[in-house]
Structures are given as C-alpha cells and as structure tokens.
Amino acid sequence: MILKSIVNIFRCKTRSLLTMAGIAVGVFAVVLISTVGAAGTQEVSSTLLTMGVDTLLIQPADNTVSATLSNGDVTEAAKIDGISDVMPLMASVTEAKMINRRLDAYVWGVDKSADKLISLEAAHGRLINNSDAAAYKKICVIDEAFALESYGRSNIVGKTLKMFLGGKYHEFEIVGVAKSGLSSLQNMLSNIMPNFIYIPITTMQSLCGRTTYDKIAVKLSDPNADASIVRRVTQRLDELHSTTDGYECNNLLSQKGQLDDIMNIVTTALSLVAGISLVVSGISVMTAMMMSVNERTREIGIKKAIGAKKRDICAEFLAESVIMTLIGSAVGIVLGLSVSFAGCMLTGAPFVVNIGSLLASAGAAAGIGAVFGAYPAVKAAKLKPAEALRS
C-alpha cells in the first residue's frame, strides 16, 4: 500500500511538491529552533561550569557583622568529607589603566587553586603560584579579552598595568594571559561584564589593609552531592565563630539548573510558535487531498464496483496524506539539521541533536496528515459506486 500511495501522491507532482514543501518549512523551523536552543543551552552550561559554577561560595551573611572568614576557616572547611578543594577569595570592582586607557575591571584575589576552581588556563605566560602569594608580589594574570581590548593582541606577557586598590594606583606586572571559561560569556556580554584580573590574594589583602577574606570557594567531590554537605560547612563555621546563621552558601550549581530550565522553556515555547506553521500547512494537505478525491472519483467508483469496501478507500487516502506529510517532515528535518550543523561549525558552538524534538516534529507532521486527511478520506469512502461512475 505504501508504494501505491507514493505513486498516487505524485500523480500531480507540482501540487504534491508544494504541499510537502509547506510541511518541510514548518518542520525545518521547529528543528532549527530546537537544535540551536539545545546547542545554546549546552554552551552556556559548559561555560558556567568552567567558570566554577560547580562550586559553593561561602560568605558571611548580610545580617551579621561578627562573622568573618580567615585562614582557619579555610583549613576547617577543607577537612569536611565530600569537599575536594577549598580556596579563599577576595573580589573588588576597580579601574585599571593600560597605555593611557582606563578600563573597568573586576579584580580577584586568588591562590594556586584558581585553575582548579574556575578552570583558568594560561594561554600565554603562567598562572599565580605559591611563591607569588608568599612574596606578596605585585603581579597579575589578565584574561584574553582584556589584552585584546588594550593592545589588539593576546600575548602581552611582561607588560605592566596600573590598578586602583586601597585608595591609590599600584603597578602590576602581567605574568600571564588566561584563557578562561569566561571568554565566550564576555564576548556575548561585552557591554555588561567587566574585564577580569587575577592577583595573589595576599597582595590584595596587603594593599586593602585586610587579613580576612570575602568568600571561600568550595569544590565538591561529587557535584550531585546532597544539601547535607552544604549545611555541614556553614554549621562548622558557625561553631568556630559562635554565630547562628552567620554564614550563607550560594549553590551556583542549582542556579545553573534553574537557568537550564528557563532556556529549555524558551526553546520549547519558540518551537511551539514555529509549529503553528505546521498546522497552517495542514490546510494545504486537506486542499490537496480534496482535489485528489475529486479527480479520482471515477476510479473510486470502479474500485467500489469490484468489491472495495469503505474502509479500504478511507485507508488508501488517509495513507496518502500521512505519507505526504512524513516525506515533507523528513526533508524539513534534514534541512534543519544541515543548517544547524553549518551554523555551529561557523560559530564554534557544539552541535547538539535534540532527538525528542525530531521525533515530536515527525509525529506532529504525521498527526496533521491524519487529521487533515481524514475528511477527504471519509468523503471518498462515502461515494456511491453508481454516482462515482457517472461523474
């Protein structure tokens, strides 16, 4: 029956091709949106993970002034089971000057564990090490975006910059240019997100006149660990400082999950909007099948005269409408995946195939073919042999 239905579909090639083209356009839009959305979600997720989103950030609660963070707190946090690494952090929004240009910057005071917790990778030069922190060196690591914006090239190791800290400008030597997970996000949010600079945390403490830290970054051995580890960290710090709810923990991984959910909802909503064109194309399927019934009235009469039953006629026309939409959906899927793949290759984004969306698109197309082909099929089945032969 399938081969016979395909032959019947292409009796009028132009009409059938136009009908299938309408279906293909609708499926193409759905596949393109879902694939781009899936690729975007994965890109953001991987970027956030390289930024250190799979860590916990412990900091004093806003409602307390007695809670602080020191070296002892870092040591105690590292002893808790389920924690693989701990790093103290200091952070400040400041201004940097390079070759007579003033640039907004976000300076991080870090130690040697920075590459483990925020996935810093040296594109040029090196990262901060223990000797830098022990000697209170005025050295820094900047991100590539900062280097490109200042000098128009990424390798500027050995250059100097001036940074405003502790009420005055200090000169720092650039010992490394980092290719961090922030790069792609900074490109997208270049007008919002400042440039990042990393300096030894001891140097930042000295220049700012402090002995405490702003935050403690805690990396879990298992990113999927339950909330009990989070509670143990804050409870231990409360015990050390004799406070109650004096510390709060930002579980960035859960916030990443919320962001993923939002992006999935947006992608689904856009796909549904694109799917409206599928419904519209269903009308063209009905029109094509109605014209086919009118053109084949005599053929239907002959089939009924030699013993064809209503269900046989109905099944034949219904199969034709479903096969027509499936062919159109197959073309749309191939085109959608091809364009998505080409776009991902050009932009360097990961190519992700949303299998569920592909199956849903094909299923929706088949459903539309069945729904909109039902009336012409029933009409063909109800034709009386004598009247059909006289037409």
**Residue 374 to residue 376: CA distance in whole angstroms:** 6
Question: pLDDT: is 284 or 334 the higher one?
Answer: 334
Residues 275/95, Cβ–Cβ less than 8 Å? no
User: What predicted TM-score, i.e. pTM, was given to this entire model?
Assistant: 0.55
| Weakest mean pLDDT among 24-33, 142-151, 185-194, 271-280 | 185-194
Percentage of the chain exceeding pLDDT 90: 10
pLDDT above 50 for 189? no
pLDDT of residue 227: 63
State the SS3 of the chain.
Answer: CHHHHHHHHCCCHHHHHHHHHHHHHHHHHHHHHHHHHHHHHHHHHHHHHHCCCCEEEEEECCCCCCCCCCHHHHHHHHCCCCEEEEEEEEEEEEEEEECCEEEEEEEEEECCCHHHHCCCCEEEECCCCHHHHHCCCCEEEEEHHHHHHHHCCCCCCCCEEEEEECCEEEEEEEEEEECCCCHHHHHHCCCCCCEEEEEEHHHHHHHHCCCCCCEEEEEECCCCCCCHHHHHHHHHHHHHHCCCCCEEEEEHHHHHHHHHHHHHHHHHHHHHHHHHHHHHHHHHHHHHHHHHHHHCHHHHHHHHHCCCCHHHHHHHHHHHHHHHHHHHHHHHHHHHHHHHHHHHHHHCCCCCCCHHHHHHHHHHHHHHHHHHHHHHHHHHHCCCHHHHHHC
Compute the distance between CA of residue 370 and CA of residue 318 in angstroms, rounded to an integer.
6
pLDDT at 190 over 60: no
Tell me which residue has tokens 């793949």: 341
Sign for the pseudo-dihedral over CA of 334, 335, 336, 340? positive
Q: Please, which pLDDT band fits residue 140 given cuts at 50, 70 and 90?
A: very high
Residue 250 to residue 161: CA distance in whole angstroms: 33
Confidence band for 288, pLDDT divided at 50, 70 and 90: confident
Q: Given this model, what pLDDT does residue 45 score?
A: 58
- Residues counted in the chain: 391
Q: Which residues contact 87 (CB under 8 A, 6 or more apart)?
A: 74, 110, 111, 113, 114, 116, 117, 216, 217
Q: What are phi and psi of 343, to 5 degrees?
A: -65, -40
Q: Which two tokens stand for residue 235?
A: 């409870």
The predicted pLDDT at position 148 comes to 83
**Is residue 83 within 8 Å of residue 228, measured between CB atoms?**
no
Cβ neighbors of 242 (< 8 A, separation 6 or more) are none
pLDDT confidence tier of residue 137, bands split at 50, 70 and 90: very high
Q: Are 278 and 30 in contact (CB under 8 A)?
A: yes
Stretch among 40-54, 231-245, 264-278, 288-302 having the lowest mean pLDDT: 40-54
Q: What is the pLDDT of residues 39-92, one digit of tens each?
A: 766 666 555 555 444 577 788 887 666 678 888 888 888 888 888 888 888 888
